[in-house]
Amino acid sequence: MEKRRIAILGSTGSIGTQALDVISQHPDLFEVELLTANNNADLLIQQALKFKPNHVVICNEDHYAKVNGALTSTDTKVFAGMKSVNDLVQSSAIDMVLASMVGFSGLEPTLNAIRGGKAIALANKETLVAAGSIVTRLAREYNTPIIPVDSEHSAIFQCLQGEYTQIEKLILTASGGPFRTWSIEDIAKATRAQALNHPNWDMGAKVTIDSASMMNKGLEMIEASWLFNVNPDDIEIVVHPQSIVHSMVQFTDGCLKAQLGAPDMRVPIQYALSYPQRVSLDTKRISFPELAHLDFYAPDSTRFPAIELAYAAHRMKGNMACIMNGANEIAVDAFLKDRILFHRIPQIIEKTMEKATFVPLPDIDDIYASHNQAKEIAMSLI
């Protein structure tokens, strides 16, 4: 495998730091070309000193002087602001862009990376939820691969290697999150700390709250629908508390393929970065005698209404999933700031979906406008 030059958008987040761990284990395979971060100047400086990228961007311009000062005696050039991310992501020195920014903010740089002809390792599911038709059309136009980093989608992607026939059904597994066994009354008044305490996966705050509400699985259903061109009604969500089977594909002959492994995000991150090669990784190996059994059951849409909201939004197509996503970002942020109770998250999303302007065939400007309108409506409900 030829050495790959990687850009990491969101390098100080959970996916970004785990990607750098993978890269540090394979210095012969990967080289860091660009790192970007929103606010975490200290960690960005540390990462730049260790991985020596040619460029770093601190998005929040208030931290520019600090980052630039710390790196003046190095060969790393320091930039600030989103505009720099959007320019540098198209640099000819980059082979692959790991899109691991949080939320809707990842959309614009991902579109620019596609226009720059970069292979995309996609961790930012909101990009496909908000603008799936636009992103996938653009990737086809520029002939750029989108390789999933989300563990479920990586599992499906791995199951599809060597398959050329019709998919009958995708089965997305869900851990069920920290409230899997909780009553509807207890979920309603769950605290921030309880929601952030995910049983299996080590992830960022946004996706951990989405896991607790199960909106994460709704977002992932939409993500899978766009990535693999499968209708929402052919995507089944199954709760699997052990998080060992990462997802499955069912073919027209009734055969199922599954991908299994210990829950460790570095596995799908590394697979996306090294695809189509597999390279070694010091992750935990499965011991079947220790596992004893694996459980699977249907999700409970009464306790977790977010799943049905996602199916409804995606069936409507147009900008509805974008509206849903914008409302969710605001509701999750409000919950993390202790401004709303947990059960208000799906209520705010549903109300926003009712009130926002539906656009059947949105262009990219409609998507930005819909996202902003959804955020405003959701804020007015808080």
In whole angstroms, the minimum distance from the beta carbon of 260 to Mg ion comes to 15
Beta carbon nearer to Mg ion, 78 or 219 = 219
What is the spatial distance between Cα 172 and Cα 153, in angstroms, rounded to a whole number? 8
Beta carbon nearer to Mg ion, 206 or 375 = 206
Beta carbon nearer to Mg ion, 14 or 36 = 14
What is the spatial distance between Cα 67 and Cα 339, in angstroms, rounded to a whole number? 33
Beta carbon nearer to Mg ion, 64 or 179 = 179
What is the spatial distance between Cα 226 and Cα 137, in angstroms, rounded to a whole number? 10
In whole angstroms, the minimum distance from the beta carbon of 21 to Mg ion comes to 18
In whole angstroms, the minimum distance from the beta carbon of 94 to Mg ion comes to 25
What is the spatial distance between Cα 130 and Cα 104, in angstroms, rounded to a whole number? 7
Structure tokens at 235: 């995507």
Count Cβ atoms below 10 Å from residue 176 Cβ, excluding itself: 25
In whole angstroms, the minimum distance from the beta carbon of 267 to Mg ion comes to 12
Query: C-alpha 139: how far from its chain's center?
Result: 17
In whole angstroms, the minimum distance from the beta carbon of 15 to Mg ion comes to 11
Beta carbon nearer to Mg ion, 108 or 150 = 150
CA nearest to 174, candidates 127, 210, 129: 210
In whole angstroms, the minimum distance from the beta carbon of 184 to Mg ion comes to 24
Q: How many CA atoms lie within 13 A of 2 on its CB side?
A: 3
In whole angstroms, the minimum distance from the beta carbon of 220 to Mg ion comes to 5
Beta carbon nearer to Mg ion, 59 or 99 = 99
What is the spatial distance between Cα 120 and Cα 20, in angstroms, rounded to a whole number? 16
What is the spatial distance between Cα 225 and Cα 241, in angstroms, rounded to a whole number? 23
Instruction: Decide: residue 242, CB within 10 A, 0-12 exposed, 13-18 middle, 19+ buried.
Output: middle
What is the spatial distance between Cα 27 and Cα 84, in angstroms, rounded to a whole number? 26
In whole angstroms, the minimum distance from the beta carbon of 152 to Mg ion comes to 5
Cβ-proximal residue to Mg ion, closest one: 150
User: Which stretches of the chain bind Mg ion, using CB under 5 A?
Assistant: 150-152
Beta carbon nearer to Mg ion, 105 or 154 = 154
Q: Which strands form 235-239's sheet, in the order they lie side by side?
A: 235-239, 167-174, 245-251, 256-260
DSSP annotation string for 196-246: T--SS----HHHHHHHHHTHHHHHHHHHHHHHHT--GGGEEEEE-TT--EE
Beta carbon nearer to Mg ion, 57 or 172 = 172
Count Cβ atoms below 10 Å from residue 136 Cβ, excluding itself: 16
Beta carbon nearer to Mg ion, 264 or 366 = 264
The answer to whether residues 55 and 71 touch, using CB atoms and an 8 Å cutoff, is no
In whole angstroms, the minimum distance from the beta carbon of 102 to Mg ion comes to 14
